[in-house]
Amino acid sequence: MTYAEKLKHPKWQKKRLEILNRDKFTCKKCGDTETTLHVHHIEYEKDKDPWEYTNKTLITLCEDCHFTIEKLKKDDDFEENEFNNIKIYKSTGWTNKNIIIFASCDQICSMEIYDKNRDFIIGFNLPEWEIRNIIKILRYSIKNV
């Protein structure tokens, strides 16, 4: 059975619903409740089926955060035990419906902009202190719109 087939298996669907309920159908990284939600395996073990993991190794993520985390994991400097250090801030309140995602994990920091169809527009890496300043400015701007 392929991994894609395993994700359609009733045992995974039951486990997935259990995790979504536990997390109140909310992304645990950015707090999104509107975007499609995924259940993410924080760690993988060889030869284990998706539903065989303990609940503490599973977490609800929106598709944006899931995609961002999977991209971070491809970085040469990323280590599996760094998952809890990943911080994501997603800004979706733009009149043109663009999505801006800031992600940081220790030395890995990025800012990416997607259009309303979630197609990539532009992205770049920044020092973490610069991302924190941008987030403060965005939060202030959104509050005062």
Whose CA is closest to 38, among 66, 15, 13, 18? 66
Residue 79 confidence (pLDDT): 66
* CA 93 to each of CA 56, 106, 122, 138: distance values in angstroms, whole numbers, following the listed order: 32, 27, 18, 10
% of the chain beyond a pLDDT of 70: 90
* pTM of this structure: 0.79
Tell me the pLDDT band of 144, cut-offs 50, 70 and 90: low
Q: Which amino acid is present at 95? A: T
Average pLDDT, the chain: 87
Whose CA is closest to 60, among 104, 16, 6? 16
- Which structural domain range is residue 96 located in? 3-143
Report the number of distinct structural domains present in the chain.
Answer: 1
SS3 139: helix
CA distance 27 to 104: 17
Whose CA is closest to 99, among 117, 111, 121, 115? 115
Of the listed ranges 25-34, 43-52, 57-66, 76-85, the one predicted with least confidence: 76-85
